[in-house]
A and B are shown apart, each in its own frame.
Chain A
Amino acid sequence: MKKIWIIIRKEWDEVFRNRIVLYTTIGVPLLFSAIPIGILSGLQGATDMSSLESELGMGMGAEMMAQLCGTLQGVDCGQYLLLQQFMILFLMMPAIIPVTIAAYSIVGEKNTRTLEPLLATPISTEELLAGKALAAVIPAVVGSFSSFFIFVAGANFLASPAVAAQLFSPLWLLGIFTVGPLLSLAGVSLAVMISSRVSEPRAAEQLTALLVLPITALFMGQLFGLLVVDQTFMLWVAAALVLVDAALLFFAVQLFQRENILTRWK
């Protein structure tokens, strides 16, 4: 554990010296909390469900409303549905922020010729990869949590108390505090895996950029009503992600072949 922490601290020292990385790590969460607050503020004029529905282009029956909003009625239901669309945004954030850092993690070491002296130290592959992955995951998760709290504070002012209270429902808490970090770990593990297989930082960045696709698909699916993100769905996603994360970490360690990295990469 101690060596993992040593790696994490070194990574942060190095990565956050780059101001662009630092600003984007802070800026993206701020932006992600500002967008929903801004939209919520813009829709404050909507006084009943019908006007909100017309603005959002929705039309739904009472049965579906009950399914989606529970006890919330009228404009509260509309506001809640709107807020719920942003949950995917908060899930995307911890997955998107760290991938560039993670993508550079191994191939970057090779590029600066520091990988050989690093691998010559008594550090295990598991410790090295865990350190690299956590160094990317922790800032992203902290950023997304902070962003969520800012969003909750904003929603408290702009939405009704009943709607704001929904943000602390099991669905949201599960999403933000379980699925988000698990998604982040999955993305980062995949990025670290890619980073240890390619020999060029640009290739790693290009490949890891593809990670955004499944999350975007989820976002679009929800937006177009193809997907209902409820508590059961979130539980299934969390359970699946635990398995996916375990598998990705296992494969990341297996695919990290010290010898190949040292002898094949030029």
Chain B
Amino acid sequence: MKSALDTRRITLFLAIAFGLAWLTALAVHLTGGILDSPELIPNTGISLALVLIATLYMWSPAIAHILTRMITKEGWKNSGLNLNLGEGRWKASALAWLLPTVLTLLGAVVYFLIFPQHYDPELGMLSELLNNAAQVTGQAIPFDVWTIMLIQLGQAVVLAPLINSLFTFGEEFGWRAYLQDKLMPLGFRKAMLLLGVIWGLWHAPVIAMGHNYGFGYFGAPWTGILMMTWFCITVGIVFGWLTLRGRSVWPAVIAHAGLNGIAGINALFLGVEAQPNPLLGPLPVGLIGGLPWAMLAAYLLWRGDDTADVSRETNPPPTRTPKRGTMIATEDLGKQFSTVTAVDELNVEIPAGQVFGLLGPNGAGKTTTIRMLSALIAPTRGHAWVAGHRIGEEDNLIRKEVGILTETPGMYEQLSAQRNLSFFAQLYEVPKVDKQVERYLRMLGLWGRRNDPVGTFSKGMRQKLAIARALLHEPKVLFLDEPTSGLDPEASRLVREFISELKTEGRTIILSTHNLDEADRLCDQIGVLRGRLLALDTPTNLRRQLFGRSVVFHLGKAKAAFAKALAALPFVQSVETLDNKLVVKLDDPEKRNPQLVAELVNLGAQVQFVGEMRQSLEDVYLQLMENGSAA
């Protein structure tokens, strides 16, 4: 599902970006245009036009981005400034660094293959430039012309993407980081094409003043503006794709800077007599010089659906808000790591004060779920609310409200138990740190060892200390990831008793465990997870759903006639004889048991005991896993 276009913000952004840029262009025009602009610093070539274009004009999209967010109180989420190098996204930045060089030089090759008469192996144009420089400075150029070319090329590849970023950031932070994001609801293809047209038209005044193409070409300046728009569409698609792939504006900034650095190199291969049509090349702003860019753009546009998947707009908004009294709620919550889906479509509602058991095999997504709900990692899909705060929007508030016992009780081994706890208590802004630390150390029987380094503690003691750490700030929600894992039976029992105590205090506890007996004893509700939620209910209901209800009749001596008679009753689903016991499966034992007992007594059976047969949670779990595998 895609959200609608935010036309109000788009309009405001365009008004600021175009207004500022075109007013700057007007100022340049009124002060002599680009060619006759007054020099700000004599004999340096730094003119008023150059300064105005490099600053106000080029930065107008970034200024528009910032002002639009401020004026419309949009906040700074999805600003595109994050580098996002993880999960293989660094490749987008690396590609951005190299791509302009490759495509631009390829464009030169194509151009000089079509117009071989323009190519000069002696690099005449560059030689003339160097001779002019030598005459002005009075010093001979110490290198030959091809060495100079290689140096130029080297600096264009290595340094230009860094230095030029200062200027290209101004454009990209507006076009790619803001406008592209706002246009994505149109879909990748339409958004890219529209953005390219807008970007091209934004260049119109400077093209009219001779930038990029000069003046002497056919149909100036209109054909130049048209050509620039075509160039902006093609290059913009590549930059836009890099932005989506990198989930950041920086790859586009680098690519744009690299392009600006390398673009002029193509002209250095021209002969002195060559008179190329700037609309064709050899620079990439020409139709032929820019052909490799156009071909790559066409390919990206063709496979556009795939790139649209990584748009930030793909997560639909929540359809509801959690009910009152709900401590944790999730809606289609999911987490994808590269190609692996760790958790998918998780929908749960956990009321305040419940102990919720999270069961599942290794790699089922239990720890990932706990990490998402404790705001440690961000979901890639869906929504969640914890203690009334929404994940992804109020993460710091969530962290204040939750306590977490991680899978391994990491502690600062060289520090004492007391120092470990006081450090975390301070970070959680606990009002009376010393008192609170003492309270929990005493409660968990560690007060006597408070000054000992944690490195000297047994595994059980560390686990207790980690539980104390999770509770120091009196969280409303407590996440316990394998709390008794690796503990001896005595320590496990202590921890379980402590969890029961916490339950009576009204805390909501999420317990992830492989110990099914523990879950059975402690949990009000159980969710069985294997990527997706396989089952969600109370332990009793899970048993009933999977195995139905069965009553066991302990008899003095079981006879085949007894089983046959009971099986004939209409409400009995099945009867099984085990030694001197009859196991009767039926729906409503509370109502039917007296009738069954009467029937057996009439048949002459000696009924010694009657009880409900209880399946273990392990049976339930294994059955669910089996069903899940079959599904």
What residues on B are CB-neighbors of A10 within 8 Å? 412, 415, 419, 423
- CB-CB under 8 A from B404, the residues of chain A are 116-117, 120
B410 touches A119 (CB 8 A): no
Tell me which of A6, A17, A122, A263 contacts B399 (CB under 8 A). Answer: A122
Contact A14 B412 (CB under 8 A): yes
B414 near A117 with CB under 8 A, answer no
Within B80-107, the residues touching A (CB, 8 Å) are: 81-87
Once A262-B377, A263-B377 are accepted as A-B contacts, the answer to whether A124 and B85 lie under 8 Å apart by CB is no
Q: Taking the complex as formed, is A18 at the interface, i.e. its CB lies under 8 A from any CB of chain B?
A: yes
A260 near B: Cβ within 8 Å?
A: yes
Q: Which residue of A lies closest to B342 (CB)?
A: A263
Partner of B428, one of A112, A113, A121, A124: A121
Contact A122–B400 (Cβ < 8 Å): yes
B396 & A255 in contact (Cβ 8 Å cutoff): no
By a CB distance below 8 angstroms, the chain A residues around B128 are none
Measured between alpha carbons, how far is A263 from B419 in the docked complex, in Å?
28
- Interface presence of B215 (CB below 8 A): no
Does A63 reach chain B (CB closer than 8 Å)? no
Which residues of B (404-432) have their CB < 8 Å from a CB of A?
Answer: 404, 406, 408-415, 419, 423-424, 426-429
With beta carbons under 8 angstroms apart, the residue of A6, A120, A260 that contacts B87 is A260
- CB distance B376 to A116 under 8 Å? yes
Whether A259 contacts B85 by the Cβ 8 Å rule is no
Taking the closest CB of chain A, its distance from the CB of B432, in whole angstroms, is 16
Q: List A contacts of B409 (CB < 8 A).
A: 113
A24 to B270, CA, bound (A): 62
Residues of B in contact with A, size category = 35 or more
Q: Return B389 CB to nearest CB of chain A, in Å.
A: 12
Minimum CB distance partner of B405 in chain A: A117
Q: A251-B83, A255-B85 are in contact. Are A120 and B374 (CB under 8 A)?
A: yes
Distance in angstroms from B277 CB to nearest chain A CB is: 42
Q: Shortest CB–CB separation between residue A128 and chain B, in angstroms?
A: 10
Measured CB to CB, the closest approach of chain B to A101, in angstroms, equals 14
Q: In the complex, which of the residues B376, B410, B424, B429 contacts A112, with contact meaning CB atoms closer than 8 Å?
A: B410
- B371 in contact (CB, < 8 A): yes
Known A259-B86, A262-B376; contact A117-B469, beta-carbon cutoff 8 A: yes
Interface string of B362-405 (1 = CB under 8 A from A): 00000000010011111000000000000000001101101010
Partner of A17, one of B82, B378, B406, B414: B414
Are A114's CB and B410's CB within 8 A? yes
Of all chain A residues, the one with the shortest Cβ separation from B479 is A120
Measured CA separation A118–B397 after assembly (Å): 15
B376 to A120, Cβ gap below 8 A? yes
The listed residue (B375, B376, B414) touching A14 by CB distance below 8 A is B414
Q: Are A120 and B410 in contact (CB under 8 A)?
A: no
On chain B, the residues within 8 Å of A13 by CB distance are: 415, 419
Given A114-B410, A251-B83, A255-B83, A121:B377 Cβ within 8 A: no
Chain A CB within 8 A of B337 CB: yes
Nearest to A109 among chain B residues (CB) is B410
Q: Select which of A17, A262, A264 is within 8 A of B371 by beta carbon.
A: A262
List chain A residues, Cβ under 8 A from B86. 257, 259-260, 264
Distance, CA A260 to CA B377, complexed state (A): 9
Contact yes or no, B376 A113, CB < 8 A = no
Question: How far apart are B305's CB and chain A's nearest CB, in angstroms?
Answer: 26
The smallest C-beta distance from B56 to any residue of chain A, in angstroms, reads: 22
Bound together, the chains give a CA A264 to CA B87 distance in angstroms of: 9
Expressed in whole angstroms, the minimum distance between the Cβ of A50 and any Cβ of chain B is 37
Q: Which residues of A lie under 8 Å from residue B377 when comparing CB positions?
A: 258-259, 262-263
Given contacts A10-B423, A113-B410, A117-B469, is CB(A122)–CB(B396) below 8 Å?
yes
Residue of A nearest to B414 (CB): A17
> How far, in angstroms, from A124 to B371 measured CA to CA in the complex?
17
What residues of A have a CB within 8 angstroms of the CB of B426 in the complex? 3, 6
The answer to whether B424 touches A121, judged by C-beta atoms less than 8 angstroms apart, is yes
Interface flags, A243-266, vs B, CB<8A=1, else 0? 000000001001101111011100
Q: Are B337 and A117 in contact (CB under 8 A)?
A: no
Within 8 A of B (CB), among A102-137: 112-124
The CA-CA distance from A154 to B289 in the complex, in Å, is 68
The residue on A at minimum CB distance from B403 is: A120
Let me know if B412 and A123 touch, CB within 8 A: no
| Chain A neighbourhood of B83, CB < 8 A | 251, 254-255
Smallest Cβ distance from A8 to chain B, in angstroms? 11
Q: Which B-chain residue is minimally distant from A5 (CB atoms)?
A: B426
Chain B residues in 8 Å Cβ range of A122: 396-397, 399-400, 427-429
- Residues of the B chain whose Cβ atoms lie less than 8 Å from the Cβ of A18: 414
- A1-32 at interface with B (beta carbon < 8 Å): 3, 6, 10, 13-14, 17-18
In the complex formed, the residue of B with least CB distance to A260 is B86
Contact (Cβ within 8 A) B82 A254:
yes
Report the bound CA distance from A265 to B402 in whole Å: 24
> Whole-angstrom distance between the alpha carbons of A258 and B411 in the complex?
19
Q: Are B376 and A119 in contact (CB under 8 A)?
A: yes
Closest to A6 in B: B426
Chain A residues, CB < 8 A from B399: 120-122
Which chain A residue has the least Cβ–Cβ distance from B419? Answer: A13
Given that A6-B427, A117-B469, A260-B86 are known contacts, is A124 also in contact with B396, CB under 8 Å in the complex?
yes
- Most chain B CB within a 10 A radius of its CB, from A17, A114, A119: A114
Residue of A nearest to B337 (CB): A263
Find chain B residues with CB under 8 A from A263 CB. Answer: 337, 371, 377
Q: Which of B87, B400, B406 contacts A117 (CB 8 A)?
A: B406
A112 neighbours in B (Cβ, 8 Å): 410-413
Q: How close is B463's CB to chain A, nearest CB, in angstroms?
A: 13
A122→B371 CA distance, assembly (Å): 14
Q: Specify which chain B residues have a CB less than 8 angstroms from the CB of A264 in the assembled complex.
A: 86
Q: Indicate if the CB atoms of A117 and B410 lie closer than 8 Å.
A: yes
State A120–B86 Cα separation when bound (angstroms).
Answer: 20
CB closest residue in chain A, given B455 = A112
Cβ–Cβ < 8 Å partners of A114 in chain B: 410-412
Q: Which residues of B contact A113 (CB under 8 A)?
A: 406, 408-410
A255 and B466 CA atoms in complex are apart in Å by: 29
Q: Is the CB of A116 within 8 A of B406?
A: yes
| Central interface residue in A115, A119, A121, A255, by most chain B CB within 10 Å | A121
Report chain A residues within 8 Å CB of B85. Answer: 255, 257
- A20 and B371 CA atoms in complex are apart in Å by 37
Q: Which chain A residues border B413 with CB–CB below 8 Å?
A: 112
Q: B residues touching A (Cβ–Cβ < 8 Å)?
A: 81-87, 337, 371, 374-378, 396-397, 399-400, 402, 404, 406, 408-415, 419, 423-424, 426-429, 466, 469-470
Give me the 8 closest cross-chain CB pairs, A-B, nearest first. A113-B410, A260-B86, A254-B83, A114-B410, A121-B427, A122-B399, A259-B377, A257-B86
A-B contact pairs, 27 of them (CB 8 A): A14-B414, A112-B411, A112-B413, A113-B406, A113-B410, A116-B376, A116-B410, A117-B404, A117-B406, A117-B410, A118-B427, A120-B375, A120-B376, A120-B406, A121-B399, A121-B424, A122-B396, A122-B427, A122-B428, A122-B429, A123-B427, A251-B83, A254-B81, A255-B85, A257-B84, A260-B86, A262-B377
Given contacts A18-B414, A254-B81, 18 further A-B contacts (CB under 8 A): A3-B427, A6-B423, A10-B415, A13-B415, A13-B419, A112-B411, A113-B410, A116-B406, A121-B424, A122-B399, A124-B396, A255-B83, A257-B86, A258-B376, A259-B377, A259-B378, A262-B371, A262-B377
